[in-house]
Amino acid sequence: MADSEFERWREHYRGAGERDADFETLSGEPLDPLYTPESVKNLDYERDLGYPGHYPMTRGVYHSMYRGRLWTMRQFAG
Q: How many angstroms separate the CA atoms of 50 and 77, rounded?
A: 20
Q: How many angstroms separate the CA atoms of 42 and 23, rounded?
A: 26
pLDDT number for residue 2:
60
Per-residue CA distances from 23 to 1, 20, 37, 56, 57 (Å): 25, 9, 21, 25, 21
Phi–psi pair at 48, nearest 5 degrees: -85, -30
Best mean pLDDT range from 22-26, 32-36, 39-43, 44-48: 22-26
Whether the per-residue pLDDT at 60 is higher than 70: the answer is: yes
pLDDT band at 72 (very low <50, low <70, confident <90, very high): low
Question: Residue 43 is which amino acid?
Answer: L
pLDDT number for residue 42:
85
Q: Is the pTM here over 0.85, yes or no?
A: no
